[in-house]
């Protein structure tokens, strides 16, 4: 016997979650399996669709600052400029639109940006303006298109956000507002390297921070003298966990200025909130989930269809059976694509990953240059089935989504989440048809 | 037939220790009397074969190259995901978190001959950091190893803390004695004066009520009933009940027996000791090794005879599956690990449980709605969703997941006077979610989580197996 479902999704990142939701909405009973806690917990929480379809120059520092050829105001407008084997070209702009709609529906009031096709520009901790399609509600008052005077506040404890530097950079980019930055000490006594979750927890619970004042009271006291004319105040995204809106409202009132969050690197509270919300949506859609257990093996039948996959549960191999499978294990970083002496290979099912024979051709100079490796991934047919070197599907019932699909350079294009949403939607749909 | 050996008397893991055993030594006598009876017959148990010439060869945890955790430390890329998911770091400012306890400390130790930082005793062994790490750094193995090293080399064996931890870790020893006179023990341990004394002398919090002992242990019930009622050549499980289901929540163990027999399984109840979980958590690796040796040998024999090992406590299955292979090298450890399952998990893999559950009219059952908490050690095995997902199919009974927070008790952690407040602070989120949930009865697989749930909310707590029993055994549904 085995644990049974119509569709098994392998991978618990954004692509896996989208594919599972998409298949479940088409009536399939879905089982989602993820090797680790969702990678979304590290992600910034921003949902990029397409910011730079064809950027020239390889200097990342310029990205987002100069005009041509980006940042794109309308991500959909850039799709035709992408290479023909780009996942957006394969699934089409409508799939991106439907993927975003599925996302909007799943996350509800946690996110903003669904009212328009256009990209928003969100200020990042490094003082850049990043084009993105959807952003957490807690970041909404911080958009760069808004012209209200702004104060950025960093904490001595959270060293990866240098607020004065970020403010200088934003000013240098020519944002349409006055911006200043200040670093304050986090109120209360915490160890120097306290976990962000510890500090977020303190703000959320409004803990006693000494001298008879709470952490929010003291935080407001410390920021107030630096306010000047600022009408909005940006903090790194650690204003509480599930009660971020309450924390924001309270701080806004105390400061008399609208408080917002700035996306940070991992660990990321907006990422954690997003993961929690998406997993709630999956639960509501009746999706079964197993986390912390990698898929390590599979079995096929005579027709080349997958009949079972096996997960490793602390030493025991547990079989899962479904009619169709979605591969959503991420790219080189997410461990979906492995590389050995002979070249890159898809890590779970061993699907073909096209790559130049000459290893020297895998990368160019410069971090954000047009590297071949950045586009590594399985080659999909129009239903998103990975194909072998002969162009025919590797398995009749395996569909791929997200970072494991080749052809996109998501870091450079600023398209990671959009690619996951669009391909996740289509892969989930194709799998449900099979099931 | 298979089980003729009642373990009460012989579970004193410490009988052969040269130093005064925590559970039987002078200091412990003051703790209200449960440990007063000397377990002089302990030395006859099977768990001391290292000394008495058994045929398994435990590998020393600290010497030799097996335990070089350096490669694991090197794969840490400092993403701090582990710190983010550590429930202790979230409330305890003195605790530096898993990244430090794990890879950083190990890297330091390999470079210089530094001693293990004493903050390691702050880790509750919930093992959440393990499943959070995207880079498969063996965090809990590092913590367990460091904790053992700390206790061995740095901890004063005469200190109150050591004594207390030793007593808590060897709960089964106490239980073995206490359960012989359950009513008397319950009366003594339920006495608030005794609890105050425990707190003052030993640092065991007086806030908690000691778990009550059942009138009859599971093993004695099993013996009395004459062992298994079902015989089968191909459907066979060896039940690992652990101490708690044997001495305290005997109804869980009985539920397992009835459910599995209903599905046609022949059940073996091998001789066994504590899984070792509380010992790992307190750095008492020698105690754990002795227990593990017995368990691996007996369960290994069962596996040899075609039995799969099934546990009703998720910390027990976790210990057998993950901690044993990580820390010990007895013959058959891996084999036992690969053939061990959680009770519900095993049924879901091998049987059609869902159709009979669907066929039951839940409204006819006298079952409440439940607020379900997934123990960290079930989460870590990827089993955190199985109960809610299964009982979705049981009409008329609502089982609601109360979220992913740790319950805070983490076995012995929440029993320590100095940790009690943290333990309750960690549990706060779960208590709140439970109060908000529709059901006013709790459900969980872990006996100590169950204590904490009850303590924080006053709810009664059931095990999923008890709900399965009510749905599938106590009705006439066809299985
Ligand atoms: C730090 C960080 C910051 C980010 N910032 C942004 C941003 O600002 N904007 C944006 O649009 N996107 C961002 N992203 C990207 C986005 O969140 C997704 O990572 C991306 O869309 C790719 O998604 P994916 O689901 O294909 O892969 P991943 O997110 O890599 O997920 C892969 C999943 O597969 C699982 N897996 C791998 N192997 C196995 C196996 N054998 N068995 C079972 N499961 C397996 C992994 O555990 C993981 O859950 C960021 C990501 C990270 C990590
Ligand atoms: S085991 Fe639990 S308490 Fe210990 S460091 Fe890891 S997450 Fe924290
Ligand atoms: S989660 Fe793993 S990789 Fe990240 S900091 Fe912790 S140990 Fe290192």
ipTM of the complex in this document: 0.85
Q: How far does the centroid of ligand 1 lie from the alpha carbon of residue A322, in Å? A: 23
**How much of chain B is helix, strand and coil, in % rounded to 5?**
50, 5, 40
The alpha carbon of residue A350 is apart from the nearest alpha carbon of chain B, in Å, by 21
Strands A179-184 and A232-236: unpaired
- What's the CA-to-centroid distance between B157 and ligand 1, angstroms? 48
Least confident of A41-50, B205-214, B318-327: B205-214
Which of B 388-407 lie inside 8 A of A, CB atoms? 389, 392, 401, 404
The residue among A24, A193, A216, A171 whose CA lies nearest residue A102 is: A24
- pLDDT of A108 reads 96
Residue of higher predicted confidence among A337 and A334: A337
Q: Where in chain A is the domain with CATH 3.50.50.60?
A: 3-109+286-434
Q: Is B321 on the interface with A (CB under 8 A)?
A: yes
Tell me the pLDDT band of A70, cut-offs 50, 70 and 90: low
Chain A hits for B349, Cβ within 8 Å: 1-3, 318-319
B149 C-alpha vs ligand 3 centroid, how far in Å? 22
d(CA B273, CA B13): 9
Query: Of all residues in chain B, what percent carry a pLDDT higher than 70?
Result: 86
What is the band of B184 on the pLDDT scale with cuts at 50, 70, 90?
confident
A197/B83 touch (CB, cutoff 8 Å), yes or no = yes
**Position A55 pLDDT exceeds 70:** no
Q: What residues does A398 pair with on adjacent strands? A: A325
Averaged confidence pLDDT in chain B: 84
Q: Note whether A1 contacts B351, CB cutoff 8 Å.
A: yes
* pLDDT reported for residue B5: 42
CB B465 within 8 A of CB B256: yes
Shortest CA gap A62–chain B (Å): 26
What residues contact residue A409 under an 8 Å CB cut-off, 6+ apart? A370, A371, A374, A375
Residue A367 and residue A180: Cα distance in Å, rounded?
Answer: 30
Q: B400: left (phi > 0), else alpha (psi -120 to 50), else beta? A: beta
Task: Judge residue B207's burial from the number of C-beta atoms within 10 Å of its C-beta, 0-12 exposed, 13-18 middle, 19 or more buried.
Answer: middle
pLDDT of B35 strictly over 70 = no
The beta-carbon neighbor of A190 closest among B85, B93, B338 is: B93
Q: Is B140 in the pocket of ligand 2 (CB under 6 A)?
A: yes
Tell me: pLDDT of A266 over 90: no
Q: Which strand (E) or helix (H) includes residue A232?
A: strand A232-236
Q: Ligand 2 within 6 A of B439 CB?
A: no
Q: Does residue B2 surpass a pLDDT of 60?
A: no
Q: How far apart are CA B419 and CA B428, in angstroms?
A: 14
Say how many Å lie between the first and final Cα of chain B, rounded.
26
How far apart are the C-alpha atoms of B284 and B170, rounded to whole Å? 9
Q: Cβ–Cβ of B81/A3 closer than 8 Å? A: no
Give the closest residue to A116 by CA, choosing from A95, A102, A133: A133
Helices (H) and strands (E) in chain A, counts: 10, 19
Which residues of chain A does CATH 3.40.50 include? 125-262
Q: What is the pLDDT of residues A78-96, one digit of tens each?
A: 999 999 999 999 999 999 9
Name the minimum distance, in Å, from the CA of A361 to any CA of chain B.
27
Domain range A3-109+286-434, CATH class: alpha beta
Taking the C-alpha atoms of residue B176 and residue B219, their distance in angstroms, rounded to an integer, is 11
pLDDT of residue A365: 65
Among all bound ligands, the one having the nearest atom to the CA of B124 is 2
Q: What is the mean pLDDT of residues A362-372?
A: 66
**B341 reaches A (C-beta below 8 A):** yes
Q: With a 6 A CB cut-off, is B135 part of the ligand 3 pocket?
A: yes
- What are B188-212's pLDDT values in tens digits? 777 777 788 788 888 899 899 888 8
- Is residue A32 classed exposed, middle or buried when 0-12, 13-18 and 19+ CB atoms within 10 A define those classes? buried
Using the atom order of ligand 1, give the atom closest to the CA of residue A405.
26
Residue whose CB lies within 8 A of the most ligand 2 atoms, among B124, B144, B377, B408, for a mutation test: B124
Question: Which residues on A lie below 8 Å from B350 (Cβ)?
Answer: 1
Chains A, B: CB contacts under 8 A, how many? Answer: 110
Query: Residue B407 to residues A305, B391, B410: CA-CA distances in angstroms?
Result: 43, 22, 7
CA angle A73, A79, A80 (to 5 degrees): 120
Which residue puts its alpha carbon closest to atom 2 of ligand 1?
A43
- Given a contact cutoff of 8 angstroms between Cβ atoms, the answer to whether A288 and B389 are in contact is yes
Q: Which CATH architecture has domain A125-262?
A: 3-Layer(aba) Sandwich (3.40)
Ligand 3 midpoint to CA A187 (Å): 27
For A67-71, B175-179, B292-296, which range has the lowest pLDDT when averaged over its residues?
A67-71
Residues 6+ apart with CB under 8 A from B404: A276, B374, B379, B384
CB contact under 8 A, B385 and A290: yes
Task: Measure the CA–CA gap between A338 and A346, rounded to whole angstroms.
Answer: 6
This prediction's pTM: 0.87
Q: What is the pLDDT of residue A370?
A: 65
Check pLDDT > 60 for residue B163: yes
Q: How far apart are the first and last CA of chain A?
A: 18
Distance of CA A63 to the CA centre of its chain: 19
**Top mutation candidate among B86, B281, B375 for ligand 2, by most atoms within 8 Å of CB:** B86
* Shortest Cα distance, chain A CAs vs residue B410, angstroms: 19
Q: Which ligand is nearest to the CA of A47?
A: 1
Over the stretch B255-279, which tens digit does the pLDDT of each residue have? 999 999 999 999 999 999 999 999 9
Confidence of residue B155 (pLDDT cuts 50, 70, 90): very high
Contact (Cβ atoms closer than 8 angstroms) between residue B277 and residue B238: no
What does the DSSP 8-state code read for residue B127?
-
What residues in B contact A42, CB-CB < 8 Å? Answer: 79, 81, 134
B268 forms beta bridges with B238
Q: What is the pLDDT of residues B63-94, one digit of tens each?
A: 433 466 777 888 898 888 899 889 999 888 88
Q: Is the pLDDT of residue B233 over 80?
A: yes
Instruction: Using the atom order of ligand 3, give the atom closest to the CA of residue B79.
Output: 4
Check if B69 has its Cβ closer than 6 Å to any atom of ligand 3.
no
Beta strands in A7-63 (DSSP E): 7-10, 30-34
Distances (CA, A) of A255 to A140, A163, A184, A211, A237: 18, 18, 15, 20, 18
- At residue B67, the pLDDT reads 60
Compare CB distances from A292 to B100, B348, B379 and report the shortest one's residue. B379
- Region B331-357: mean pLDDT is 96
What SS3 class is residue A34? strand
Beta-carbon count within 10 A of B32 CB: 22
pLDDT of residue B8: 37
Average pLDDT over residues A309-321: 91
d(CA A157, CA A222): 15
- Ligand 3 pocket mutation, candidates B70, B72, B79, B129, criterion most atoms within 8 A of CB: B79
Determine the pLDDT at residue B172: 78
β-strands A295-300, A306-313 pairing = antiparallel
């Amino acid at each position: 016997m085995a644990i049974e479902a119509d569709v098994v999704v392998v991978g618990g990142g954004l692509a896996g979650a989208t594919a599972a939701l998409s298949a479940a909405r088409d009536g399939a009973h879905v089982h989602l399996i993820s090797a680790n806690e969702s990678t979304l917990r590290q992600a910034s929480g921003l949902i990029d669709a397409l910011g730079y379809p064809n950027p020239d120059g390889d200097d990342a520092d310029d990205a987002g600052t100069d005009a041509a050829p980006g940042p794109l105001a309308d991500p959909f407008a850039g799709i035709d400029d992408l290479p023909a084997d780009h996942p957006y070209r394969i699934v089409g702009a409508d799939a991106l639109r439907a993927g975003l709609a599925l996302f909007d529906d799943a996350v509800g009031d946690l996110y903003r940006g669904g009212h328009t096709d256009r990209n928003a520009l969100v200020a990042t901790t490094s003082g850049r303006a990043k084009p993105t399609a959807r952003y957490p509600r807690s970041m909404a008052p911080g958009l760069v298109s808004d012209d209200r005077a702004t104060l950025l506040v960093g904490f001595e404890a959270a060293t990866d956000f240098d607020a004065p530097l970020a403010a200088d950079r934003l000013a240098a980019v020519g944002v349409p507002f006055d911006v200043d930055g200040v670093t304050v000490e986090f109120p209360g006594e915490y160890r120097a390297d306290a976990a962000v979750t510890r500090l977020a927890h303190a703000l959320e619970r409004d803990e006693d921070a000494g001298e008879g004042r709470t952490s929010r009271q003291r935080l407001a006291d410390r920021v107030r003298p630096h306010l000047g004319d600022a009408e909005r105040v940006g903090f790194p995204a650690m204003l509480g966990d599930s009660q971020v809106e309450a924390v924001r409202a309270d701080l806004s009132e105390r400061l008399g200025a609208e408080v917002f969050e700035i996306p940070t690197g991992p660990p990321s509270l907006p990422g954690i909130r997003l993961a929690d919300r998406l997993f709630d949506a999956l639960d509501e859609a009746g999706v079964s989930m197993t986390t912390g257990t990698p898929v390590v093996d599979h079995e096929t039948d005579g027709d080349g269809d997958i009949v079972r996959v096996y997960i490793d549960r602390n030493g025991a191999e547990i079989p899962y059976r479904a009619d169709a499978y979605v591969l959503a294990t991420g790219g080189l970083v997410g461990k979906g694509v492995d590389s050995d002496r002979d070249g890159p290979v898809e890590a779970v099912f061993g699907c073909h990953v096209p790559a130049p024979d000459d290893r020297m051709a895998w990368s160019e100079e410069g971090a954000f240059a047009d590297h071949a490796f950045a586009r590594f991934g399985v080659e999909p047919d129009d239903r998103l089935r990975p194909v072998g070197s002969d162009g025919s599907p590797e398995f009749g019932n395996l569909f791929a989504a997200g970072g494991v699909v080749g052809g996109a350079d998501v870091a450079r294009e600023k398209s990671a989440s959009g690619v996951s949403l669009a391909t996740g939607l289509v892969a989930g749909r194709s799998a449900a048809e099979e099931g | 037939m298979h089980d003729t050996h009642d373990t009460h008397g012989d579970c004193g893991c410490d009988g052969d220790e040269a130093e005064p055993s925590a559970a039987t030594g002078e200091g412990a006598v003051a703790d209200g009397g449960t440990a007063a009876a000397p377990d002089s017959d302990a030395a006859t148990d099977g768990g001391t074969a290292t000394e008495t010439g058994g045929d398994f060869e435990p590998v020393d945890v600290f010497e030799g190259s097996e335990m070089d955790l350096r490669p694991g430390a090197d794969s840490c890329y400092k993403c701090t995901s582990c710190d983010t998911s550590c429930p202790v770091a979230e409330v305890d400012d003195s605790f530096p978190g898993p990244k430090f306890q794990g890879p950083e400390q190990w890297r330091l130790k390999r470079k210089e001959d530094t001693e293990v930082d004493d903050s390691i005793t702050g880790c509750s062994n919930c093992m959440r950091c393990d499943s959070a790490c995207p880079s498969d750094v063996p965090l809990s193995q590092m913590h367990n190893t460091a904790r053992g090293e700390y206790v061995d080399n740095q901890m004063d064996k005469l200190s109150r803390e050591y004594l207390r931890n030793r007593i808590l870790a060897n709960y089964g020893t106490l239980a073995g004695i206490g359960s012989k006179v359950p009513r008397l023990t319950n009366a003594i341990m339920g006495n608030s004066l005794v609890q105050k004394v425990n707190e003052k002398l030993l640092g065991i919090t007086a806030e908690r009520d000691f778990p009550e002992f059942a009138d009859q242990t599971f093993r004695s019930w099993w013996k009395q009933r004459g062992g298994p009622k079902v015989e089968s050549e191909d459907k066979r499980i060896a039940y690992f009940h652990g101490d708690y289901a044997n001495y305290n929540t005997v109804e869980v163990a009985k539920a397992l027996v009835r459910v599995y027999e209903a599905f046609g399984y022949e059940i073996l109840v091998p001789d066994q000791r504590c899984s070792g979980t509380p010992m790992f958590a307190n750095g008492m690796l020698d105690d754990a090794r002795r227990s593990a040796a017995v368990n691996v040998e007996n369960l290994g024999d069962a596996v040899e005879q075609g039995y799969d090992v099934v546990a009703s406590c998720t910390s027990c299955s976790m210990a057998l599956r993950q901690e044993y292979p990580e820390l010990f090298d007895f013959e058959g450890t891996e084999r036992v690990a690969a053939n061990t399952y959680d009770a519900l998990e095993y049924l879901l893999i091998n049987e059609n449980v869902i159709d009979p559950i669907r066929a039951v009219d839940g409204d006819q059952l006298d079952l409440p709605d439940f607020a379900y908490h997934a123990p960290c050690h079930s989460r870590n095995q990827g089993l955190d969703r199985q109960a809610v997902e299964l009982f979705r199919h049981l009409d008329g009974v609502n089982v609601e997941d109360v979220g992913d927070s740790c319950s805070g008790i983490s076995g012995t952690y929440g029993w320590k006077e100095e940790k009690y407040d943290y333990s309750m602070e960690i549990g706060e989120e779960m208590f709140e979610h439970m109060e908000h949930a529709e059901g006013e009865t709790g459900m969980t697989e872990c006996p100590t989580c169950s204590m904490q749930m009850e303590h924080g909310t006053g709810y009664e707590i059931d095990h999923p197996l008890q709900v399965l029993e009510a749905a599938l055994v106590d009705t006439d549904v066809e299985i």
